[in-house]
């Protein structure tokens, strides 16, 4: 079992939680014990965030290849690099409402983007627009996570009575983005 100074303090969330004590941090004054499972959860969360940034189209669904039919359109089922979270899929569907022809992703499946075109020469252009929506969606999703953590940090700060300059400092540090 590892000892960490303060549940929810910036040290625990940044991964610098090997017991380094910050005397200016109100959270570090409260000793809490974290188990290896807590650290594994932190590692999974970090991996999850990295996975969101890596979502991209890697091909066409092998089971549903594009085919010329009698109908005046060609169905396309683009395969993603890995399963996207349900919330990401919801965000993608909202962001993609303005695409013509329309695209969508099954929120429960999270692996294939369903699209179609009326003319096969439009496929590269349509794919480029879908890729831009994927990038925008991942950015939005990660920003929402960051804002959620910022709100959580603000709640934690208010619960622990941190006020004044230290509270402001804690909020600024919690809002920092390290992966740009």
Within this chain, do residues 8 and 62 fall inside the same structural domain, yes or no? Answer: no
Half-sphere exposure of 159 (CA within 13 A, CB side): 11
Q: Is 175 helix (H, G, I), strand (E, B) or coil?
A: helix
Q: Is 72 helix (H, G, I), strand (E, B) or coil?
A: coil
Q: Could you give the angle at which helices 164-175 and 123-159 cross, rounded to 10 degrees?
A: 160
Q: Is residue 163 part of a domain?
A: yes
In eight-state DSSP terms, residue 122 is G
CB under 8 Å to 31, separation ≥6 — which residues?
Answer: 3, 4, 5, 6
Within this chain, do residues 38 and 94 fall inside the same structural domain, yes or no? Answer: no
User: How do the pLDDT tens digits run along the chain, 180 residues long?
Assistant: 333 334 444 444 444 444 445 555 444 444 444 444 444 444 444 445 668 889 999 999 999 999 888 888 999 999 999 999 999 999 999 999 999 999 999 999 999 999 999 999 999 999 999 999 999 999 999 999 999 888 887 777 655 555 667 778 878 888 888 775
pLDDT at 42: 42
Q: Is residue 180 part of a domain?
A: no
pLDDT at 173: 83
pLDDT at 71: 86
Q: Is residue 149 part of a domain?
A: no
Range of the domain at 6: 2-51+156-175
Burial class (CB in 10 A: 0-12, 13-18, 19+), 94: exposed
In eight-state DSSP terms, residue 123 is H
Q: Model-level pTM?
A: 0.62
Q: Is 77 helix (H, G, I), strand (E, B) or coil?
A: strand
Q: Is residue 23 part of a domain?
A: yes
Within this chain, do residues 63 and 43 fall inside the same structural domain, yes or no? Answer: no
pLDDT at 1: 33
pLDDT at 48: 55
Q: Is residue 151 part of a domain?
A: no
Within this chain, do residues 7 and 66 fall inside the same structural domain, yes or no? Answer: no
């Amino acid at each position: 079992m590892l000892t960490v100074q303060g549940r929810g303090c910036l040290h625990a969330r940044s991964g610098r939680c090997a017991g380094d004590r910050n005397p200016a941090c109100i959270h570090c004054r409260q000793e809490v014990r974290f188990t290896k499972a807590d650290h594994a959860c932190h590692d999974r969360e970090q991996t999850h965030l990295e996975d969101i940034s890596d979502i991209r189209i890697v091909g066409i669904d092998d089971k549903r290849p594009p085919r010329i039919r009698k109908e005046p359109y060609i169905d396309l089922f683009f395969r993603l690099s890995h399963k996207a979270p349900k919330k990401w899929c919801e965000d993608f569907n909202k962001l993609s409402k303005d695409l013509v022809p329309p695209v969508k992703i099954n929120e429960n499946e999270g692996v294939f983007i369903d699209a179609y075109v009326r003319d096969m020469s439009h496929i590269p252009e349509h794919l480029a627009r879908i890729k831009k929506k994927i990038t925008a969606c991942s950015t939005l999703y990660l920003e929402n996570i960051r804002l959620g953590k910022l709100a959580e940090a603000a709640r934690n700060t208010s619960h622990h009575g941190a006020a004044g300059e230290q509270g402001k400092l804690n909020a600024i540090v919690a809002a920092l983005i390290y992966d740009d």
